[in-house]
Amino acid sequence: MLPSETFSNLLRGEAPLLALAPMQDVTTLEFMRVIDHYGGPEIYWTEYFRVHGDSRPEKWILDSITKNPTGKPVVAQLIGNDIPAMVRTAKLLQKFPVAAIDLNLGCPAPIVYRKCAGGGLLRDPEKIDAILSALREVVHVPFTVKTRIGFESPGEFAALLELFARHAIDLLTIHGRTVTQMYRPGVRYDLIAQAARQLPCPVLLNGNVFSAPQAKQLLVETGVRGLMIGRGAIRNPWLFEQIRTALRGEKVIFPTGRAVRAYIQELWDNEITPGIKESAQVQRMKKFMNFIGEGVASGFLHDIRRVTTTADFWRVCGQFLDHDRPMTLEPIDNGQAPLALPAAF
Ligand SMILES: Cc1cc2nc3c(=O)[nH]c(=O)nc-3n(C[C@H](O)[C@H](O)[C@H](O)COP(=O)(O)O)c2cc1C
């Protein structure tokens, strides 16, 4: 079965869908392999392909589709605003085993939104209208959109929903914050619930999902088709399996400190590029440790951010994780505060 058919079947099914959120520089082929080892989601998303006049799909992102080891559908995400280039790229990507083509309307990085791409497009509904029309015409696999609830104000959301409802998109993922809000507190799950009631297409909820009981509650209260999880899954790769366990009404099992250390080791082993300098390897791991650390302890986060050598990296991990106590891996400040984020996101 083609990945796009598997994806369509999943959308039509009954069970709540779980997806790994697209994360630039994180959701690589290697990371998907690691996450899948812990059960993983039903659907993966690539980080965004940057689309402009003379762009070509980035090879390493294409690899996460063509060489994907998980056997699960992978959605290809595009960011840009040049309609002929978006059409050309969407046509090209459909020659590969993509589950769907997804349009990014949420990236809050100023360098992106100032060019009126990603979240910046939310200021220009007419342009979104034109992009959706053009892409819908050439996308023959499912066509999906990932949006925020507005650029500056949640008051923009109602008009956006009308716009999305006018186009036959197959799925809308909603990160329940505005673009200018970045990652600050106050995810508007109520507006996501409104979208789920109002739109003809299925809706995925996104934003600060960090535990199985909370995920279960959000699914029940908002009536969405499923959840897309980003940082919560880096912190806790068991989360997807824990959510499925909770939905079956069974007792959720938490990993021990040693199991978390083994997860970090697995990341390390998968993220090693042969010949990479020690300091660069440690630096690469910090991309993940910034999030994992939030689920361990503030002292751990403090110390791991400062290490520069392999020996120190593992010494700090051993100091905080060499134990068999169960760990919830919930964010230290409950996930509503602005957590450690790279400048772009
Ligand atoms: C490091 C990082 C990179 C991201 N890259 C992308 C991206 O390429 N495309 C996208 O649509 N969203 C991107 N996002 C946003 C996430 O997909 C998601 O919407 C956001 O993190 C909120 O979900 P969460 O609270 O579950 O992490 C990124 C987020 C982070 C933290």
Q: What is the pLDDT of residue 337?
A: 39
* Spatial separation of the C-alpha atoms in residues 111 and 108, rounded to whole Å: 9
Ligand 1 center to 170 CA (angstroms): 20
Helix ranges (DSSP H) in 173-296: 189-198, 212-222, 231-235, 239-247, 257-271, 278-296
Probe target for ligand 1 pocket from 18, 20, 23, with the most ligand atoms within 8 Å of CB: 23
Task: Please work out whether the CB of residue 231 comes within 6 Å of at least one atom of ligand 1.
Answer: yes
Read off the pLDDT of residues 201-242 as tens digits, 9 standing for 90 and up: 999 999 999 999 999 999 999 999 999 999 999 999 999 999
Question: Rounded CA gap, 127 and 139, in Å?
Answer: 18
Instruction: For residue 128, give every residue at least 6 positions away whose Cβ sits within 8 Å of its Cβ, in sequence order, or none.
Output: 105, 121, 122, 160, 163
What's the CATH code, domain 3-247?
3.20.20.70
Which residues are registered as beta bridge partners of 227?
Answer: 18, 205
Closest C-alpha among 275, 287, 340, 283 to residue 313: 283
pLDDT of residue 341: 36
pLDDT in the model for residue 345? 31
pLDDT at position 109 is 85
pLDDT band of residue 342 (cuts 50, 70, 90) is very low
CA separation for the pair 188, 62 (Å, rounded): 33
Span 149-163, average pLDDT: 97
The model scores a pTM over 0.85: yes
Q: 79 has which bridge partners?
A: 50
**What is the Cα 343 distance to its own chain's centre?**
17
Q: Give per-residue pLDDT as tens, 110-127.
A: 887 778 889 999 999 999
pLDDT tens figures, 13-51: 999 999 999 999 999 999 999 999 999 999 999 999 999
Judged against a pLDDT cut of 90, whether residue 339 lies above it is answered with: no
| First CA to last CA distance, the chain | 35
Q: Which residue has the higher pLDDT, 175 or 344?
A: 175
Atom of ligand 1 nearest to the CA of 206: 23
Interval 230-259 mean pLDDT: 98
Q: Locate the ligand 1 atom nearest the alpha carbon of residue 233 and give its number.
A: 26
Q: Which of 141, 208, 140 has the alpha carbon at shortest distance from 174?
A: 208
Using only the alpha carbons of the chain, give its radius of gyration. 19
Give residues with Cβ within 8 angstroms of 64, minimum separation 6.
27, 28, 29, 32, 44, 46, 47, 74
Q: How confident is the model at residue 280 (pLDDT cuts 50, 70, 90)?
A: very high
Give yes or no for residue 306 having a pLDDT over 50: yes
Residue 317 annotated to the active site: no
CB 19 within 8 A of CB 227: yes
The response to whether residue 206 sits with its C-beta less than 6 Å from ligand 1 reads: yes
Residue 334 has pLDDT above 60, yes or no: no
Rounded distance from Cα 117 to ligand 1 centre (Å): 15
Q: Best substitution site from 101, 187, 203, 231 to test ligand 1's pocket, by max atoms within 8 Å of Cβ?
A: 231
Ligand 1 atom with minimal separation from the 342 CA: 1
Task: Name the catalytic one among 107, 116, 201, 317.
Answer: 107
Confidence of residue 12 (pLDDT cuts 50, 70, 90): very high
Mean pLDDT for 258-285 is: 93
Does 22 sit in the ligand 1 pocket, CB within 6 Å?
yes
**pLDDT score of 115:** 81
Amino acid 10: pLDDT: 97
CA angle centred on 27, ends 224 and 38, rounded to 5°: 75
